[in-house]
Amino acid sequence: MDLQLSVPEGYRRNLENFTRIIADVLELDVPCIELRFKKFASSEEKYGRYGHVISKRDGLNWAKFLIEIEQDASLDRQMVAICHELIHVQQYASGRLNYGEYARSMRCLDTGEEHRVPMGLGWEWEGIFYPKGTPYLKRPWEIDAYKRQNDLMNKVYAIYREKYPEEVRE
């Protein structure tokens, strides 16, 4: 896995090691993850304000996952956000979650012909379509990520402390 970081130099090694441990724990098999830190606009959703993931395909295959994290959040909050967003990468890579323009096939009762009916932009989670306007806390993939992020953070931090004791601040 290629890991690209756009972070302040002082954090680079710590975040690279931390992110690689998360990817190992989640058993991510993706070609590239780019991690960027940026200032989020105040207009962004109340929930999800610490980070988000953008998935990019090359045809049918995943090419890259771009994760953006709020640069002004505390380091602890950033680390939890990285865990949360990498859970989403796992959801995408496993096929549980997809995002894009969706249409359903429907059969005409009179003629028996099948037609594609556009449903719009949104997510597909475990085979169920959720339109783009679905409230953040009603999105099952977000519920899943929130349920798992703290346990993942604790597990990863324990591994990190063991592998890189010189980098851990008490």
Q: Report the alpha-carbon distance of residue 129 to residue 143 in Å, rounded.
A: 16
Q: What is the pLDDT of residues 132-163, one digit of tens each?
A: 899 999 999 999 999 999 999 999 999 999 99
% of the chain surpassing 70 pLDDT? 89
75-94 helix and 140-163 helix, angle to the nearest 10 degrees? 120
The upper half-sphere exposure of residue 163, i.e. CA atoms within 13 Å in the direction of its Cβ, equals: 12
Pick the range with the lowest mean pLDDT from 49-63, 104-118, 128-142, 155-169: 104-118
- Domains of the chain: which residue ranges? 2-94+136-167
Q: Which fold has domain 2-94+136-167?
A: Collagenase (Catalytic Domain) (3.40.390)
- Residue 73 DSSP code: S
Total-model pTM: 0.85
Give the position of tokens 């591994």.
159
**Mean pLDDT value across the chain:** 86
